Structure 1
Amino acid sequence: MTPTDTIYTFDDVKREYEKYILRPQDRQLIESAYKFAEMKHAGQKRRSGQPYITHPVAVAYFLTQLHTGPETIAAGLLHDTEEDTGTGNNELKEKFGPTVASLVEALTKIADVTHKHDLHIMAEDHRKIFVAMAKDVRVILIKLCDRLHNMSTLQYQPRDKQIRISQETLDVYAPIAHRLGLYKVQLRLEDLSLYYLKPDEYQKIERDLAAKNESLSGALKRIQGQITDLLSKTGIPFQISSRVKSIFSIYKKMQAGHTFDEVYDLMALRIITDTENECYEILGYIHANFKPIPGRFKDYIAMPKPNMYQSLHTTIIADSGNVFEVQIRTKEMDEVAEEGVAAHWRYKEGENYDPKKEQTEIEDKLHWFRDFVSITN
């Protein structure tokens, strides 16, 4: 994944949050936060030359992709106002309420501590400080989105800073994204870090992957068609898609002694169904009709990963002789696999939406988060 400095506008953010945030007062909170941040950052520029406001807007956009709530998005828009514009926390509390102010305050404290210790702090200690100070998972979501945008615009920084920030991202931020099951965020952070830390290796894998993709695409379409035909006759509801392994994941396997051609799961098929039982039924049909590779089956449904990931993994040989990984899971498992903890913290709003009830749910989930903090520490 090469860096792409996409410039998001507040209209982009608005279009996304209006899909799931319906209450006028919640929408108003976000709009007010944007106007306030725009005013406070007026005249400030990023190293790219773009107005500074493009950064908090990008952070807010990434937060909408995780379906976070209005207060989290507002805090994302305001996250640099204390540190970079001298805005007091009391002013934020008066204008946007205690929750938004407390999220921004936590982000400011984390930034202050990590900046002071930048050159001396060990990665593990950095992670501990970060997670312990966050206390609220929403702070971590904002910080990860902040780092994701900073990595996406790292090409404007001097080389020594590119290396330092990329190493820190790989050592601190990507592992936290992994622990929270934020798969897409983790992969983007890892690939962007590798792009700056090992540019030659990155580009070689990228070229090899493009060539392999071209040679495998026909075989992939064939086996996808065969599995579709097979499962269509069973009456089991399913959706099938394919994915390509990330460059960083391939790099890690090669560092462990594998050659590029020995990375079996370069391309994987993903089958989504409705129930757990149907996952196992589909696995039975796959194994009965295609040759599975011994020792490559993993049951993460019975034994979920620590970050709540669940799926069945098997590796099969197609009639073309090509090897493909097949992942089988339910829709709910897929949501967690793609969004991790964010799938459980997604802002939900309906006719009976009650902020107090939502707060109770957050408190319940904080028990899980406190366990995460103690494990990380």
Structure 2
Amino acid sequence: MADDYRVILVKLADRLHNMRTLQFMPERKRKTIAAETLVVFAQLAHRLGVWLFKTELEDLSFKYLYPTEFQRLDKLLSMRRAQYTSTLAAATHDFSEILRRDKMFKEHNIKLEITGREKGMYSLWEKMRRKTKYKNNIDNIDDIIALRVVLDIQQLAGESDEDFANRGAGYCYHALTLVRKLPNWSGGDSLKNYIAFPKPNGYQSLHVTFIHHDAPVPLEIQIRTRQMHEVAEYGMAAHWIYKDEQRGDGEQKKSKMRSRRVAWLESLADKDGDLRKDAQQFVEEVLRDELGRRCFVFLRDGTILNLSRGCTALDAAFKIHSEVGLHMQHAVINDKKVPPFYQLQNGDRVNIVTSDDAAPPREWLAYAFLRSTRNKLAAHFRRTKKEKERAVDLAAALATAATAAAAIPLVH
């Protein structure tokens, strides 16, 4: 299983290297590759929990797919970056002081690593799009900047993995208690407890938001152990870091093995790193097999549709919404009017023109590439047939009633 994860990591790294040189390709090719990256590779990294790749894959895709929005957000962040930097510096100093002075951490030889980070631009843009309260005020977002507190804890001789994990969680809660006591920082009441309730991809951490009295910029504090941090950075591959450790191995030997494996993972994301030729060839074969069956097209609002290769404009209409498909008049692809049976190509710009009076003819069943499209059309035709039959039955009943009424003599 670890080998499978390493193969996937090599694929992610290869795509990341390609994205870093995307500016040298024609615009249409850039958009197609960026769409594939955002929909397939970034999602794969997300599901595996590999934040080491996910954020950069998303941000590079964002830059090429939505350049106007990217530049606008970049400008907003640049205007605030000095404030973010000073807030992170003050937080690093204050939180380091109280944690490093703690008597229990000293006695138990707990090492601390404290680093700051800025939220990924695509993730930030998505949050602003999804939630109305963030649309016009970036300053309302409480996790644009964060301070990560990573606790290095040594596993005791004879200590089970479960006990070790529980002890690490206990130190995290102790650190949370300490940082809540800082005098110049307010907040700290709303806790997101991903240690007690991990995310589906295994992510664990304590998240809590503070605001410094002299700089009202929200700051998220993330507290986790080294093991939790490696799962956060490398996802499922983190289990491979600790794989094959023997109970009898000394801590020094275990540490060397972990260091080598962490170095290998980090080298994949190295800007100057170079994949082995055979690994590149393998990746290209996999990509041809997997992505050769997909087609990525763009709607007018920038939404990406991930369709099967061979899909038609009609399939895209039903993918958007059943009502769009049922009221489709025609499609406009790359600014040209096309019929419903037009076969979509990677990177096409798609606009479906609808009308309330439009209705699909039965021959459209032959234009549908996707089974789901054919099923929706068939269901519509069955429904309209029943409605017509009911209308005919109702007309006949009304006619019969009218005839019967006419036969009844009037009473004077």
Shift of 1:293: 5.5
- Please give the per-residue CA displacement for 1:74-112, whole angstroms capped at 9, x wherever unaligned: xxxxxxxxxxxxxxxxxxxxxxxxxxxxxxxxxxxxxxx
Alignment partner of 1:300 is 2:178: no
For 2:8, which of 124, 130, 140 is the aligned residue?
140
Query: How many angstroms apart in 2 are the aligned matches of 1:341 and 1:216?
Result: 32
Quote the Cα distance in structure 2 between the aligned partners of 1:308 and 1:328: 15
TM superposition shift of 1:278: 0.9
Corresponding residue for 2:170? Answer: 277
The 1:325/1:347 distance shift into structure 2, 3 A limit, reads closer
> Which structure: larger Rg?
2
- 1:213 aligned residue (81, 104, 122): 81
The equivalent residue for 2:113 is 239
Q: Give yes or no for the alignment of 1:174 onto 2:42.
A: yes
Gaps of 5+ in 1: 1-67, 73-135, 354-377
Q: Alignment partner of 1:340: what SS? A: helix
**Which amino acid letter does the alignment assign opposite residue 171 of structure 2?**
E
TM-score for the superposition, normalised by structure 2: 0.50
2:126 aligned with 1:252, yes or no?
yes
Change (3 A) 1:245 1:306: same
Distance 1:168 1:149 in 2: 14
1:267 pairs with 2:149: no
Q: In structure 2, what is the Cα distance between the partners aligned to 1:216 and 1:305?
A: 27
Give the corresponding residue for 1:57: none
Determine the C-alpha separation between the residues in 2 that align with 1:144 and 1:272: 26
CA distance 1:322–1:347, shift in 2 (3 Å): closer
Alpha-carbon offset, residue 164 of structure 1: 1.4
Q: Is 1:340 aligned to residue 235 of structure 2?
A: yes
Aligned to 1:325, the other structure's residue is in SS state strand
**Alpha carbon RMSD of aligned pairs, Å?**
2.5
Superposition deviation, residue 210 in structure 1 = 2.3
Q: Are the counterparts in 1 of residues 180 and 188 from structure 2 also a CA contact under 8 Å?
A: no
Distance 1:276 1:186, change over 3 A: same
Post-superposition offset of 1:333: 0.6
CA contact (8 A) 2:5 2:237 kept: no
Residue aligned with 2:181, SS: helix
Whole-angstrom CA distance in 1 between matches of 2:242 and 2:85: 38
Alignment of 1:1-377 (within 5 A): 136-235=4-103, 236=105, 237=110, 238-256=112-130, 257=132, 258=134, 259-273=137-151, 274=153, 275-289=168-182, 290-292=185-187, 294=189, 296-320=190-214, 321-346=216-241
Query: Aligned partners of 1:215, 1:312: CA distance in 2, in Å?
Result: 24
Deviation string 1:251-279 (CA, Å, 9 cap, x unpaired) is 11111231322222111011111321110
Instruction: Give the superposition deviation at 1:176.
Output: 0.8
Following the alignment from structure 1 to structure 2, what is the Cα–Cα distance between the partners of residues 332 and 341?
12
| SS of residue in 2 equivalent to 1:173 | helix
Separation (CA, whole Å) in 2 of partners of 1:138 and 1:216 = 36
Alpha-carbon deviations, 1:277-296, whole Å to 9, x = none? 110011112223342255x4
Contact 2:142 2:219 survives alignment (8 Å): yes
1:28 aligned partner: none
Letter in 2 for 1:211: M
Question: Larger relative CO (CA 8 A, sep 6+): 1 or 2?
Answer: 1
More strand by share: 2
| 1:337 Cα deviation after fit | 0.8
- Specify the SS of the correspondent of 1:264: coil
Distance of 1:263 and 1:185 partners within structure 2: 23
* Separation (CA, whole Å) in 1 of partners of 2:243 and 2:16: 25
SS at match of 2:230: helix
Spell out, residue by residue over 1:135-179, the C-alpha distance to the aligned partner (whole angstroms, 9 max, x if none).
x33332222122112212211221111111111211111111011
What runs of 5+ residues in structure 2 fail to find an aligned partner?
A: 154-167, 254-412
Deviation at 1:349, TM superposition (A): 8.3
Distance, in Å, in 1 between the alignment partners of 2:204 and 2:242 is 22
Aligned length: 220
Paired with 2:143 and 2:63, the residues of 1 have a C-alpha distance of 21
Matched residues in 1 for 2:193 and 2:11: separation? 32
Cα deviation, residue 212, structure 1 = 1.2
- Using the size of structure 1 for normalisation, the TM-score is 0.54
